[in-house]
Structure 1
């Protein structure tokens, strides 16, 4: 992922559920020429011109796309979420690309924040 795409606290990554990740990869490669990197049988990430994201195995349901924001300071962003009334649903954890946490906003929408 190019560092030029990293903008502090902006939407930067989107995750989708798919019952057939291979089929999803074929579709989005043909439609948008997205490039994929597999991380086991139940997760693949994609890179596009202006957005990156991933597909994880699961039954798609309207409203299940996970919006992921980038943060230069994940602890400070987490504190802003808490102080604004958000609820942390997955505390900061490590993953192959860095660190991440997930929260719900005041309407119950779940989002994530990641950092290098």
Structure 2
């Protein structure tokens, strides 16, 4: 079963945005290098995707957590979705991005702790 539980925000530099959310809302973040930080303690995690690493996202990216990434990719494609970023690995799992028929870009991921 899929659940929408992760949102990434595109940011220029991660540190000032991370510090803003820490000060304004009391959130704590884990830094995953200079271009990514995440608050993963609540029902919906917040990722800050910076442009320092060259892989910045262009807009807010909602992500679905799924049990079977390949089956989800097949389901998205069969339902008329367009894969915009094929499956790739990241620290802690794998994911892909897609565009729905309304033009919205979202992602799906599976946790695979290392």
Shorter-chain TM band: 0.7 to 0.9
Partner of 1:84: 79
Per the normalisation by structure 2, the TM-score is 0.84
Partner of 1:19: 12
Report if the CA contact (8 A) 1:46-1:54 is conserved. yes
**Structure 1 residue 48, shift from structure 2 partner:** 4.1
Runs of 5+ unmatched residues, structure 2: 52-57
Partner of 2:2: 9
Partner of 2:96: 101
Establish whether residue 55 from structure 1 lines up as the match of residue 48 from structure 2: yes
Per the normalisation by structure 1, the TM-score is 0.83
Partner of 1:71: 66
Cα RMSD of the aligned pairs, angstroms, is 1.5
**Count of equivalent residues:** 105
Runs of 5+ unmatched residues, structure 1: 1-7
Partners in 2 of 1:113 and 1:23 — Cα distance? 27
Per-residue deviation, residues 5-54 of structure 1 (Å, max 9, x unmatched): xxx31111100011232111111112222121111111111124221121
